[in-house]
Chains A and B, each alone.
Chain A
Amino acid sequence: MATVVIPAILRDLCGGAPSLEVEGATLDALLVELDRRCPGFYGRVVEDGRLRPELAFALDGEVVRLGLHDVVQPAAEITIVPAIGGG
């Protein structure tokens, strides 16, 4: 199961849990399962079939652009962060 670190500001949706072990082969499946346990989570971060453009996934410590269809390894650690740009 992947570990999803719940962004601080969304923890109320998840009963205050800082992270949850979630099953899901893809990011979308993982977020759907997370939404089942934390109702409203999916709609907060997904829009028009993709992660909202002002947000980004961080996977195993690295902020990286991923699609919802991307596969998640069982031991992955994942969270959602504000999108960043460099100079």
Chain B
Amino acid sequence: MTTVDRPAYSVIGTRPIRPDGVEKVTGKARFGPDVHFPNLLHAKILRSPHAHARILSIDTSGAENYPGVLAVATNHDLPTAADKIEELGESAVNLREVSDNVLASRKVLYRGHAVAAVAAANPHVAELALQQIKVEYEVLPPVLDVQDAMRDDAPLLDETRRTKTLMTREIGDRPSNIATYNRFEGGDVEAAFAEADVVVEREFTTSMVHQGYIEPHSTTAMWNADGTLTVWTSTQGAFAARGVIAQVLRIPLSNVRVVPMEIGGGFGGKTPVYLDPVAAILSKKTGRPVKATMSRADVFEATGPTSGTYIKLKAAASGSKLTAVQATLCYEAGAFPGSSVGAGCMTMLAPYVIENFQLHAYDVVVNKPKVAAYRAPGAPVAAFAIESVVDELAQRQGIDPLEFRRENASRQGTKMVTGMPFARIGNEEVMEAAISSPHYRSPIEGPNRGRGVASGYWFNGGMQSSVVVAVNNDGTVNLIEGSTDIGGSRASLSMQLAETLAIPYDSIRAAVADTDSIGHNDVTGGSRTTFATGLAIYEAGMDIRRQMVARAAKLWGVSDEDVVYEAGTLRCLKDSTKELTFSEMAAQSARTGGPIAGKASLLARGAGAAFGTHIVDVEVDPDTGKVTILRYTAVQDVGTAIHPSYVEGQIQGGVVQGIGWALNEEYYYDDNGRMLNASFLDYRMPTALDVPSIDTIMVEVPNPGHPYGVRGVGEVPIVPPLAAVANAIADATGHRFTALPISPRRVVEELNGLV
């Protein structure tokens, strides 16, 4: 670990056991499907067998009359939603599209699109009853690929949709699957290309891939007699879920209580709402709690993966300087608009100083599930394109690829493509640590072996957080927060509180509360929780310290200024014999004014950006096309590693997902839009047997926007691996692969000239 200007912390930087660890390893922790009630009903969803079809009629009478069925729901049971983009929590959504995705109305837009739902006491009865629902479809030709969807003669998902230019609000003159267009521009790219030593132009394609979380979506809804609704669900954001549920069902926010269950992975994929409004309607109809749980095939076919993409990129260098980049980024949004192409543009060039650039962004609908966030959404594929070309430029100029990157590295003050300057970032430090790492300094030897490097960036978020910290009279503390724990945040937050109050980590009990029990919290996403909720915890801790100082002053008959809080002890500056430990003060709370509790609700500012540079060695079997990862080192600016083990875990997890994306994972469709690999047997994610131990080098460049220097760490590690692996394969084989995944078949075809 490299440390830069790090204060001496007592708790931060240690590696205590996570508070939720025992419950999780003993199976006691309750996840979405673990919710049970004596009178529970089970819901099953009828899904479209077609990728694109007009719904002519739905006859549910057969299911309604089926023995054991208590209720049936279709889109007609949902209130009519406005065709307008609304800000819900931290995301902007079109409510009509959300409603249409929950249960289709006029058209089905992808295979697996929900059409109707049945509730029965027995899940098998509900499943059988689905077969009694008669849906008359007018089957339409599907369009499955972003480039096909952009053609003038492409089948249209929505005949009324015209391309909207994001900023100008100009509307296209004819119907199109291109939902939005935007552009980022600076300098003079044409002049820079004309003057450059070398220009490289490539086209890149990537397939739709899924987050692959272990736990399928599951929800249980209870519509109570007083008109309130309680939802127990697997979500990354209870408040965001509450917002969407309330808006789709047109009920007040305060009438909806969302209880976030433990989560078996999310990676951004558990921010949207799919099942909750359906279960709620069925509960309203029956007066009983209703549970809906997806199968793995449902998860693949009907929840949000990340976009398949097409990127055309041209870049230039003069000497060791990267001088210009021109790129067109086209991202599949799935059935409804809203891909992360904007983020792709804003992250693509971030590791470098590039004065001349022009980026065109297209958000395109296709007959596949609506995409959702996936770890640094939009950034990995953009990095795949730019980092492949940067590698090639370095090679053409005869410069070491990491030295070339360092030569062009962005730093504090460098302007992003938005024209905004970076605050303090650790990009250069990361590249330097990579260059001097044992891995990069070691030789790569042997036939068919190669080494690749790549860099990446992610913004990291701030957003809204609320916490309450209650001090008990025995000196223990209850930390109540509303940020779902998806990556060890109960530990990282408790550690920050322990540091702030200078009390033992073990004396803090952290609990994630439901939406009735704490103020608003935005989703656990955007790598924001340890930073933003940590900021709220720091403020709540300082609130407690101030209260304790005031009470000690009262006890000792001095003014507040005469009392200090040091290392968990209150001391009187006017009388050195007077002091109270945190526990002693807590014990006196009832006699000094009542319970002591700290609280904070804030919109966090000052999120520190994250950069990573990765090094990977591979071996390519020219006969089978198999790519073996021999060694992998991920270097990252982590700000301050609150709990280093969890930071390492986040980095390693991101790398493994990136390796899967690079080598094997893809949504594989037939011509009719049927996904042919909608199971973990056929959708090939890496296992522990596929990857070596991932080495991590944590560079600590503290974020000045946080009292402990925290930067989000969870997303940026998935940004470089796609390009790093591709660059290593290029080094090993002499062939540059520009389409993902670089599967064995693709390798064999490329190496044998069969493409």
Is the pair A80, B167 in contact by a Cβ cutoff of 8 Å? yes
Interface flags, A47-87, vs B, CB<8A=1, else 0: 00010111100101111110000000000010111111111
Is the pair A84, B92 in contact by a Cβ cutoff of 8 Å? no
Given A82-B182, A86-B528, A87-B376: A64 and B605 within 8 A (CB)? yes
Partner pick for A5 among B266, B377, B420, B527, CB 8 A cutoff:
B420
Name the B residues within 8 Å of A77 (CB-CB): 419-421
Q: How far is the CB of B449 from chain A (nearest CB, A)?
A: 33
Q: How far is the CB of A11 from chain B (nearest CB, A)?
A: 8
Is the pair B423, A60 in contact by a Cβ cutoff of 8 Å? yes
Partner pick for B346 among A6, A53, A81, A86, CB 8 A cutoff:
A81
State in angstroms the CA–CA spacing of A8 and B420 once bound together: 13
Residue B375 is within 8 A (CB to CB) of chain A in the complex: yes
Name the B residues within 8 Å of A53 (CB-CB): 85-87, 92
Is the pair A18, B419 in contact by a Cβ cutoff of 8 Å? yes
Which residue in chain A gives the minimum CB-CB distance to B347? A84
Is the pair B165, A9 in contact by a Cβ cutoff of 8 Å? yes
State in angstroms the CA–CA spacing of A87 and B184 once bound together: 23
Q: How far is the CB of A7 from chain B (nearest CB, A)?
A: 5
Given A45-B167, A60-B420, A81-B342: A87 and B715 within 8 A (CB)? yes
State in angstroms the CA–CA spacing of A19 and B420 once bound together: 11
Is the pair B525, A86 in contact by a Cβ cutoff of 8 Å? yes
State in angstroms the CA–CA spacing of A54 and B459 once bound together: 17
Is the pair A62, B605 in contact by a Cβ cutoff of 8 Å? yes
Interface flags, B368-409, vs A, CB<8A=1, else 0: 000001111110000000000000000000000000000000
Q: Which of A1-55 contact B (CB under 8 A)?
A: 5-11, 18-19, 43-45, 50, 52-55
Name the B residues within 8 Å of A63 (CB-CB): 459, 461
Is the pair B605, A85 in contact by a Cβ cutoff of 8 Å? no
Residue B456 is within 8 A (CB to CB) of chain A in the complex: no
Given A61-B423, A62-B606: A86 and B186 within 8 A (CB)? no
Is the pair B167, A10 in contact by a Cβ cutoff of 8 Å? yes
State in angstroms the CA–CA spacing of A61 and B703 once bound together: 13
Q: Which of B259-293 contact A (CB under 8 A)?
A: 266-269, 271
Name the A residues within 8 Å of B375 (CB-CB): 87
How many positions in chain B have a CB within 8 Å of any CB in the partner chain? 56
State in angstroms the CA–CA spacing of A38 and B396 once bound together: 44
Partner pick for A79 among B211, B420, B458, B461, CB 8 A cutoff:
B420
Is the pair A82, B525 in contact by a Cβ cutoff of 8 Å? no
Name the B residues within 8 Å of A55 (CB-CB): 166-167
Which residue in chain B gives the minimum CB-CB distance to A52? B85
Q: How many A-B residue pairs have CB under 8 A?
A: 128
Residue B169 is within 8 A (CB to CB) of chain A in the complex: yes
Q: How far is the CB of A64 from chain B (nearest CB, A)?
A: 6
Is the pair B527, A86 in contact by a Cβ cutoff of 8 Å? yes
Is the pair A9, B169 in contact by a Cβ cutoff of 8 Å? no
Is the pair B166, A86 in contact by a Cβ cutoff of 8 Å? no
Which residue in chain B gives the minimum CB-CB distance to A4? B419
Residue B435 is within 8 A (CB to CB) of chain A in the complex: no
Residue B607 is within 8 A (CB to CB) of chain A in the complex: yes
Of B91, B167, B269, most buried by chain A (CB within 10 Å of CB) is B167
State in angstroms the CA–CA spacing of A21 and B184 once bound together: 20
Partner pick for B167 among A7, A61, A85, A86, CB 8 A cutoff:
A7
Q: How far is the CB of B269 from chain A (nearest CB, A)?
A: 8
State in angstroms the CA–CA spacing of A18 and B188 once bound together: 12
Given A9-B167, A54-B85: A85 and B416 within 8 A (CB)? no
Interface flags, B456-497, vs A, CB<8A=1, else 0: 001111110000000000000000000000000000000000
Q: How far is the CB of A38 from chain B (nearest CB, A)?
A: 12
State in angstroms the CA–CA spacing of A51 and B675 once bound together: 39
Name the B residues within 8 Å of A43 (CB-CB): 169
Residue B83 is within 8 A (CB to CB) of chain A in the complex: no
Given A44-B167, A84-B346: A9 and B87 within 8 A (CB)? no
Is the pair B90, A5 in contact by a Cβ cutoff of 8 Å? no
Which residue in chain B gives the minimum CB-CB distance to A63? B459
State in angstroms the CA–CA spacing of A10 and B185 once bound together: 11
Partner pick for A8 among B91, B183, B271, B343, CB 8 A cutoff:
B183
Residue B340 is within 8 A (CB to CB) of chain A in the complex: yes
Interface flags, B158-186, vs A, CB<8A=1, else 0: 00000001111100000000000011111
Name the B residues within 8 Å of A65 (CB-CB): 90, 463, 603
Partner pick for B422 among A50, A61, A86, CB 8 A cutoff:
A61
State in angstroms the CA–CA spacing of A80 and B167 once bound together: 9
State in angstroms the CA–CA spacing of A65 and B378 once bound together: 20
Which residue in chain A gives the minimum CB-CB distance to B236? A87
- The contact sample of 9 A-B pairs, CB cut-off 8 A, is A9-B182, A18-B186, A44-B168, A55-B167, A62-B423, A63-B459, A63-B461, A86-B715, A87-B373
A-contacting residues of B (Cβ < 8 Å)?
A: 85-87, 90-92, 165-169, 182-186, 211, 266-269, 271, 340, 342-343, 346, 361, 373-378, 416, 418-423, 458-463, 525-528, 603, 605-607, 705, 715
B-contacting residues of A (Cβ < 8 Å)?
A: 5-11, 18-19, 43-45, 50, 52-55, 58, 60-65, 77, 79-87
Other A-B contacts than A11-B185, A43-B169, A85-B377, 11 sampled, CB-CB below 8 A, are: A7-B167, A8-B183, A54-B166, A60-B423, A62-B462, A63-B459, A64-B603, A82-B361, A84-B343, A85-B340, A87-B525
Q: What 4 A-B pairs come out closest when comparing CB atoms?
A: A87-B268, A86-B526, A82-B342, A5-B419
